Amino acid sequence: MNSLIACKIPCFRLALSVWLTATLYKLPVAAKGVHSQASPGYRHFWSPSGSFGGWIARQNTVVNERHRAVLTEWLAEVSWDWNLDNTIAFKAVNYLDHFLSTKPVEVLARFQLVGIACLRAAMGDTKEKEPQEKAEREKDLDPARFAYISDRTYSASEVEEVTAVVQASTPACLRSGPNAKMFLRSFWYRAVMSGTLSEHEMHIYTVASFLLQLSLLDLECSALPASLAAAAALANALELFGKDAWPATMRRYAAYTLPELAPARAKLAGVQESVSADHLRQIWRTHHEGHGYEEYRDEWARALLLIACPCSCQ
């Protein structure tokens, strides 16, 4: 422990890295890969047949679905720690799933490195579009910074090498296309601008955002089309607070009917009821405990209760 203290690694990042490493190695290695009945229509260009999970399973026998969930939660936590735009975590998980569907992870000890590289690639693609000074962008993407959060398990050169592999193997349409969080923001903006919701009803948006990020831990939910996942998360949040689950404004804008949302809504509700994700839930709860408007005190209390632990969305 003294050697770790000497490295002057911030407690939070050290805890993340140690927790991830310990958890990954507690999990059984998948003898036959990941098994999931995800939507076969997801991202057609790299999953032309069979289930999404099955496509990953054909490439990987070392990494299983639980390993992926642990790494995904860790990436989300790093994103919060670094105060990144929330869409970056979604982009990074998209890159991770694409990588797993096309390339094998030969050794479990390298899996965290793949996740780190996906996060770095996602940040790079996002920051290219931001009005940021070159020096600041290079500092944010410094490979040594990413090696640091692994408790220096990997070197900066390894981070740079695997990032290049991720960038080269990820299709341009996936790198530039909208992800689920982007769709949710668009839906929320439309609901507020149309007068369907008040901009002060942020408890609804917060719950929808949480359900959407929690769903990243589940491979089957991650296989949903991005717009469908976002619509389902918003519908569940609306209904939780006694609103019309899918009002006319959203039906016109998002082109989904309420029955079409039902299977995806059930999947997201199932994840909320069954996935512990203690670290992620604690971050969300801590971040939002001081938020809210006085007139929505009860709604915020209910939102925080849902975030705190697995429970029904009803």
Share the mean pLDDT of the chain. 84
- pLDDT of amino acid 131: 66
Indicate whether 108 pLDDT > 90.
yes
| CB distance 108 to 28 below 8 Å | no
Rounded Cα gap, residues 255 and 252, in angstroms: 5
Structural contact between residues 54 and 71, judged by C-beta atoms closer than 8 angstroms: no
Give 211 or 12, the one with higher predicted confidence.
211
Nearest to 213 by CA among 175, 273, 287, 268: 268
The pair of three-digit structure tokens given for residue 37, joined into one six-digit string: 């009945």
102 exposure class (CB count in 10 Å sphere: 0-12, 13-18, 19+): middle
Confidence tier at 35 by pLDDT (50, 70, 90) = very low
How sure is the predictor about 137, in pLDDT bands with cuts at 50, 70 and 90? confident
Q: How far is the C-alpha of 196 from the C-alpha of 219, rounded, in Å?
A: 32
CA-based nearest residue to 73, from 313, 274, 276, 309: 276
pLDDT of residue 44: 29
Q: Diameter of the chain by CA atoms?
A: 61
Q: What is the pLDDT of residues 61-101, one digit of tens each?
A: 889 999 999 999 999 999 999 999 999 999 999 999 999 99
Residue 43 pLDDT class (50, 70, 90 cuts): very low
Domains belonging to the chain, first-starting first, are 2-176 (1.10.472.10), 180-308 (1.10.472.10)
pLDDT at 55 over 80: no
Residue 23 pLDDT exceeds 90: no
| Rg, Å, the chain Cα set | 19
Number of other residues whose CB lies within 10 A of the CB of residue 264: 23
Type of residue found at 127: K
| Cα–Cα distance, 184 to 254 (Å, whole number) | 10
Task: Decide: 168 and 95 in contact? Cβ < 8 Å.
Answer: no
User: If you average pLDDT over residues 227-233, what whole number do you get?
Assistant: 97
pLDDT band at 28 (very low <50, low <70, confident <90, very high): very low
What single string gives the DSSP state of each residue in 143-196?
HHHHHHTTTTSS-HHHHHHHHHHHHHHS-HHHHHS--HHHHHHHHHHHHHHTTS
Query: Residue 3 burial by CB count (10 A; 0-12/13-18/19+): exposed, middle or buried?
Result: exposed
- At 253-280, the pLDDT tens digits run 998 999 999 999 999 999 999 999 999 9
pLDDT tens string 153-186: 999 999 999 999 999 999 999 999 999 999 999 9
Tell me which H or E stretch contains 209: helix 202-215
CB-based contact 97:222 (threshold 8 Å): yes
* pLDDT number for residue 9: 33
pTM (predicted TM-score): 0.83
Of the listed ranges 42-46, 117-121, 196-200, 232-236, the least confidently predicted one is 42-46
Token readout for 1 is 């422990």
Binned at pLDDT 50, 70 and 90, residue 107 comes out as very high
Share of the chain above pLDDT 70, in %: 81
265, 312 in Cβ contact below 8 A?
no
